[in-house]
A and B are shown apart, each in its own frame.
Chain A
């Protein structure tokens, strides 16, 4: 397993995908900052939309720029093991299929976390340098940052289980890309619909839906507060519960995807 991790990391380091991902991790924040600056100049007024909060709040989103691209890259990276035929070499060399699967999963997770962390740092730096950061002083900023970063990073660990599962089952890049994107978009749609309906009677079920918690942990205190007030009168008290349920959801569904992927991968013949 250790050697497989080294091999997959070695491959990833040499891959063009990594270089492209790193370029995008720097280019996207610059483009977003330029866009914000341009729009704020055009509108000629201070707007919550062009705040540092707003720019930072989307760094861990799975449906905006890098959040949508990275899981696709992770899936393609796994599929290349099939298309190159190097996966055969691993099996022939006596590596267990479960080790091969888990190595891919762990390297995908590390890849996603590393690139999204760079993206988050660059975005935050640019946002704080060029735009105002507004905060509701009644809220604990340290705790909110902890929630935001932990939940955001875990989202990418979770989506790595999805893209790896699709890649190891489908084995080809095109369907893996499509399904990974569709999965993220469907989740976002489900979340949006649930946000719009009265969900109080079954709120704990809703919190258990993957990525739903992202609506609450966005460092966009003014926006999120209004949402929370709208959705839940005792917002602050319930945040730790939402966070815990969200993390539990990731753990449960992440494990489920991994088990399904492993089961199918172990059963199937390798071409």
Chain B
């Protein structure tokens, strides 16, 4: 079952497309990573599906409720989101903000439950009980924002750059929280530019660029289809390159910083035999599997994989 579906969703600002004809599917139980460069349209798409902005064309459905149906309001009650930054009343304490969030979402929580939620995201309640949120660090606010999202017991949580401002410990805590909640049945849509973090937690990614969704792929498929490459360093790089090119069996070959990279499903033994038979000494050799980051860069057609 799709928790979020968009059909040809578009948003135009001042005659240019911020989001163009995006059709994506977040299924129940997914941790969906939404990847794209700054200004690619990630936040705009999140703003559309959270109801903060109205689509110019296209439609979407949250938990089966179409965006133009009255049911969407009820569906949103089961959805939590942090868009860009966690938003809260800075003149209030963390607990007061949690109480406000309870009222917004129409859920009833005891003070003890709210404090437990605050502690759950790594904030120490006793240390912050009298502190106004305005005096929190960015990372603390981000954690409190996640606690506020959890207040409603949402089944579907949208996090826009949740790792922003977090220290390494915060990274780990947020990641662990996401994974734990996902095991408990919560579906996530997470946009982030920290691809290595997404790779560790997501089971599906969507790549967006210039407002268009370029690809939507499950991590298992990405790994199955991942391109491998052999990176090697030979004593005489010129001769090594000539030998490999002369063989003709290595279609994609690159040379950078004195290292040779051979792409594709290539037999390592064959490469080494070829080089040795040409009297070349190999200093180092590595077989590297394509990461999400590599895949992303390749997809965008930018730069060269190093």
Contact = CB atoms under 8 A, between A and B. Distances in A.
A96 B100 CA distance: 17
Interface stretch (A83-91, A133-141, A253-261): A83-91
Contacts of A45: none
Contacts of A95: 73, 104
A85 B81 CA distance: 13
Interface in A93-131: 93-96
A269 B91 CA distance: 25
B85 interface: yes
Interface in A1-45: 3-4, 6-7, 10-11, 14-16
B54 A269 contact: yes
Interface in B87-115: 87-92, 96, 99-101, 103-106
Contacts, number: 84
B148 interface: yes
B279 interface: no
Interface string B29-61: 000000000000000000100111110000000
Contacts of A49: none
B101 A89 contact: yes
Nearest to B73: A94
A227 B144 CA distance: 61
Interface string B282-303: 0000000000000000000000
A88 B88 CA distance: 9
B50 A91 contact: yes
A7 B51 contact: no
Given A86-B89, A270-B53, A92 B103 contact: no
A18 B54 CA distance: 34
Listed residue (A7, A16, A92, A95) with the most chain B CB atoms within 10 angstroms of its CB: A92
B79 A92 contact: yes
B52 A93 contact: no
A185 B76 CA distance: 43
Given A3-B104, A6-B103, A92 B89 contact: no
A93 to B, nearest CB: 4
A85 to B, nearest CB: 3
Contact of A92 (B54, B80, B91, B106): B80
Interface residues of B, number: 33
A86 B100 contact: yes
Contact of B51 (A3, A80, A91): A91
Nearest to A5: B103
A92 B83 contact: yes
B91 to A, nearest CB: 7
B87 A88 contact: yes
Nearest to B44: A269
B52 A92 contact: yes
Contact of B90 (A3, A7, A84, A93): A84
A184 B100 CA distance: 33
Contacts of A6: 103
B74 to A, nearest CB: 7
Given A14-B89, A93-B152, 19 more contacts: A3-B106, A7-B103, A11-B89, A11-B92, A84-B87, A84-B90, A86-B100, A89-B148, A91-B51, A92-B81, A92-B83, A93-B104, A94-B51, A94-B72, A94-B75, A94-B76, A96-B73, A267-B54, A271-B52
Interface of A: 3-4, 6-7, 10-11, 14-16, 80, 84-86, 88-96, 267, 269-271
15 contacts: A11-B92, A14-B92, A85-B85, A86-B104, A88-B87, A91-B51, A92-B76, A93-B152, A94-B51, A94-B76, A94-B77, A95-B73, A95-B104, A96-B73, A269-B53
Interface of B: 47, 50-54, 72-77, 79-81, 83, 85, 87-92, 96, 99-101, 103-106, 148, 152
